[in-house]
């Protein structure tokens, strides 16, 4: 009994020492750069390096220097895994340029901090406490426990999924293009998994493959896998292992999943199915989108459009040809985007779900927010509301500036802004025709779309830590509604 007590005391002492070291590191960060600043600057650094490389003559198909703004826009859309382009990726860039773009997409999808940490690990460098805190914030995790193991699994899983996706693509592209189809398959596997939406097939994205089930379903699978987030992967794998070893019964598989995974899976599937049904209904007779397709291809195209709104950016039907009612609904889906700790953008499915259940709980007359028989911390609801409102405010400001300085249809410019802020990449044929001011606005939107929500959550976390023990003000009610 005495030995057991000593062991417990030793464990508590070690845990206390770790917490002290973490607090010291956090205090030291105040003297240097905060984690938010490091993350945002790391993305900016990757964009600037990519810009410099893309400006080189070797990266253009004509062998000439690329103008700064064109290279800057392309590097930003690659690192921010958006997909909006001002020049045709297939025709303008050389093979070297395509390789640079591919690496920028992979860096942006996994995160600059995450990738640099993994490289240091491969070089045998020790990852200190400060780097672990930075990683915890960059991945928006709530613990440092098993962080290095998590990073290794993320990279192993990413390479595995992208490799399998490339193999499936080869069944479509190799018979059509020969050996070149291997490279095309690899490029699109990375682009689809990272939800980038950049292709090297031509100026019309995947429209020529609207009826090709291999290309369609491989792309959709990669988009969903990248978009649901790494945390959900390992949670599902863990529960399935427990089922396979007989630790849990089949009926308890869903119950054993973490609340985060349940919300992500439920919301993602709900958005995809609702989007599919709405797009199919509204566009069924539209000759510019689904109207001239056979019924099986209509179903496939509507499903693809719904999935690509998870911030992927590939298109198998004309976005310009969508009815305004459909385009408006697409705006909402693009704004929500994918899920946290993944490759997708947007305010995230968990944010949207949190806001929905908070409203529903209010309608039901509850003084708390609950989902799947679990209460949510009020701080989470406040963060979700802040993320949604600030992201919407950024989109509205960008839209006002676009309408002021750029000529174009209201819906087309709105679609462009929401596509950029959600890092989606779908366009109604606007991007290439933007003037200098318009391109700069979209660049800022893509950058904020990739770093903004993450940085906001981190900033709110820091504020909550600083305000602990602060003076509480007297409470008073106001009339709302």
- Give the pLDDT confidence score for residue 244 in this predicted structure: 87
**Predicted pLDDT of residue 205:** 92
DSSP assignment of 77-102, as one string? HHHTT----SS-HHHHB-HHHHHHHH
d(CA 414, CA 334): 12
pLDDT of residue 474: 84
Contact (Cβ atoms closer than 8 angstroms) between residue 188 and residue 161: no
Q: Looking at the DSSP assignment, which residues form a beta bridge with residue 371?
A: 374
Beta strands in 236-287 (DSSP E): none
Closest-CA residue to 345 (of 407, 396, 420, 290): 420
Q: What is the spatial distance between Cα 412 and Cα 409, in angstroms, rounded to a whole number? A: 5
What are the average pLDDT values for consecutive 10-residue runs of the chain, which has 481 residues?
Answer: 46 45 46 66 89 96 95 95 93 96 90 64 62 60 65 85 96 96 96 93 92 96 92 88 85 88 95 97 96 96 96 94 96 93 88 94 89 90 90 94 95 96 94 95 92 59 51 75 69
Question: Residue 236: phi, psi to the nearest 5?
Answer: -65, -45
CA separation for the pair 127, 242 (Å, rounded): 31
* Extents of the domains making up the chain: 29-465
Q: What is the pLDDT of residue 7?
A: 46
């Amino acid at each position: 009994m005495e030995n057991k007590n000593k062991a417990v005391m030793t464990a508590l002492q070690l845990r206390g020492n770790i917490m002290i070291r973490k607090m010291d590191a956090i205090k030291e960060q105040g003297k240097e750069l905060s984690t938010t600043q490091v993350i945002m600057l790391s993305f900016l650094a990757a964009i600037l390096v990519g810009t410099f490389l893309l400006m080189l003559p070797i990266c253009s198909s004509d062998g000439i220097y690329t103008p700064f703004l064109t290279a800057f826009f392309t590097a930003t859309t690659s690192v921010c895994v958006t997909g909006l382009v001002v020049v045709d990726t297939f025709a303008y860039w050389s093979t070297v340029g395509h390789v640079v773009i591919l690496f920028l997409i992979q860096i942006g999808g996994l995160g600059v901090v995450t990738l640099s940490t993994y490289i240091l690990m491969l070089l045998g460098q020790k990852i200190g406490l400060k780097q672990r805190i930075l990683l915890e914030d960059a991945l928006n995790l709530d613990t440092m426990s098993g962080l290095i193991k998590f990073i290794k699994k993320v990279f192993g899983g990413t390479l595995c999924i992208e490799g399998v996706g490339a193999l499936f693509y080869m069944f479509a592209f190799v018979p059509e293009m020969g050996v070149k189809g291997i490279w095309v398959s690899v490029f699109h596997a990375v682009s689809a998994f990272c939800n980038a939406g950049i292709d090297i097939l031509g100026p019309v994205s995947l429209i020529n493959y609207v009826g090709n089930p291999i290309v369609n379903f491989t792309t959709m699978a990669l988009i969903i896998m990248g978009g649901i987030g790494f945390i959900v992967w390992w949670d599902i794998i863990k529960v399935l292992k427990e089922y396979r070893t007989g630790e849990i019964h089949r009926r308890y598989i869903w119950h054993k999943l973490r609340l985060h995974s349940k919300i992500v899976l439920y919301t993602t599937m709900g958005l995809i199915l609702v989007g599919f049904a709405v797009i199919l209904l509204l566009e069924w007779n539209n000759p510019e989108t689904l109207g001239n397709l056979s019924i099986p291809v209509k179903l496939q195209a509507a499903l693809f459009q719904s999935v690509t709104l998870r911030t992927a950016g590939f298109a198998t039907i004309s976005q310009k040809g969508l009815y305004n009612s459909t385009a408006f609904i697409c705006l909402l889906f693009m704004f929500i985007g994918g899920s946290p700790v993944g490759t997708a953008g947007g305010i995230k499915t968990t944010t949207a779900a949190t806001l929905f259940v908070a409203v529903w709980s209010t309608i039901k007359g509850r003084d708390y927010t609950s989902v799947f028989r679990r209460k949510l911390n009020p701080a989470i609801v406040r963060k979700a509301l802040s993320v949604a409102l600030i992201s919407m405010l950024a989109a509205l400001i960008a839209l006002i500036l676009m309408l002021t300085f750029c000529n174009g249809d209201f819906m087309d410019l709105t679609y462009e802004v929401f596509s950029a802020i959600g890092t989606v990449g779908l366009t109604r044929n606007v991007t290439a025709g933007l003037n200098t001011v318009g391109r700069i606005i979209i660049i800022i939107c893509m950058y904020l779309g990739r770093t903004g929500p993450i940085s906001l959550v981190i900033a709110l976390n820091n504020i909550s830590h600083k305000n602990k023990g602060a003076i509480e003000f007297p409470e008073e009610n106001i009339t709302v509604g």
